[in-house]
Amino acid sequence: VVEPYNSVLSTHSLLEHTDVAVMLDNEAIYDICRRSLDIERPTYTNLNRLIAQVISSLTASLRFDGALNVDVTEFQTNLVPYPRIHFMLSSYAPVISAEKAYHEQLSVAEITNSAFEPASMMAKCDPRHGKYMAACLMYRGDVVPKDVNAAVATIKTKRTIQFVDWCPTGFKCGINYQPPTVVPGGDLARVQRAVCMISNTSAIAEVFSRIDHKFDLMYAKRAFVHWYVGEGMEEGEFSEAREDLAALEKDYEEVSAETAEGEGEEEELGEEY
C-alpha cells in the first residue's frame, strides 16, 4: 500500500548517493512470469529467480572468462551521460520455460531482438516512447563476436529503436563463455546462450511519472504519513523527495529533446560496437 512513498523516498536517496541504479519493477516481472513462463500466480521466488539471472549477468565477467569482459565500473563510464541520469532499464532474454524449450536454442540475433522488445523490459515502460542514450549488452554462453556484430548491426537499422542524436549509437558489448545456470526444478529452461541488456533510455521517466501519480493521490490526503512521522521522519522530507523526482522527470525530458549541434562521426569498431 505504501509502495509509492517508499519508492519516491528511496529514489531521492539513490539520486544523491549512487552512481548507477538498475530499475526492477515487480509488476513488469510478474507479467514476464505470466506471459513467458506460464505461471498463473507468480510468487516472490519466481520473481527472484529471474532477477538473479540479471544480477548474475551483470557480475559474470568478474567471475568467469570471456572474449570481451565488462567491468562493473564500465557501466558508469559508458552509460551515464550526466550524473543525475543514472537510472538504467534492464531486460533479459531468452525467458523460456523448461516445458517450452525442448531442444530449440535461440540464435544470437533472436535473443538480441528479444532483449529490445518492450515485453522483455523489467520495469513497466515502453522504450519506443523514448530515446536510448546508451546500451550495454552482456552475452553469456556460446556466443562469438562475429554474431554479436551482425546482431547489433541489425538492431541499428530498426526504426523503432531510436538513439538521441547527440550520442553516437555506441553499444557496449560483453561476451562471457560461462552459460547461464538455472535452479534444478526451477521455472527457467537451461539454455546455451543468453543476453542481459542494461540501457539508459529517456522512457524510464514513465516509471517515475507513474510512481509520482500514485504518491500524489495518497499524499494529498496525508494517508499513512503518520507511520513515517512516528518513526522520526519529518513531513517536509516527503515534499522534498517528491520535488526531486519532478525535477528528475524534467531532466529526462530535456535529455531526449536536446539535439546535437554537429553530428559526430560513427565510432570505430572495437570493444564497443
Question: Could you state, in order of their start, the residue ranges of all structural domains in the chain?
Answer: 19-203
| Cα 192–chain centre separation | 22
**Is pLDDT at 141 greater than 70 in this prediction?**
yes
**Is pLDDT at 26 greater than 70 in this prediction?**
yes
- Taking the whole predicted model, whether its pTM rises above 0.75 is answered as yes
Instruction: Report the CATH superfamily, name and number, of domain 19-203.
Output: Tubulin/FtsZ, C-terminal domain (3.30.1330.20)
**Is pLDDT at 16 greater than 50 in this prediction?**
yes
Active site residue 99: no
Residue 157: per-residue pLDDT: 87
Select which of 74, 110, 249, 272 is catalytic: 74
**Is pLDDT at 270 greater than 80 in this prediction?**
no
Band (63; pLDDT cuts 50, 70, 90): confident
Strand partners, 141: 193
Half-sphere exposure of 267 (CA within 13 A, CB side): 12
**Is pLDDT at 262 greater than 70 in this prediction?**
no
% of the chain residues with pLDDT over 70 = 93
Residue 232: CB atoms within 10 A of its CB come to 6
Band (122; pLDDT cuts 50, 70, 90): very high
Band (273; pLDDT cuts 50, 70, 90): very low
Band (104; pLDDT cuts 50, 70, 90): low
Q: Could you read off the pLDDT of 182-221 as tens digits, one per residue? A: 888 888 888 889 999 999 999 999 999 999 999 999 999 9
CA–CA separation, 162 vs 116, rounded Å? Answer: 11
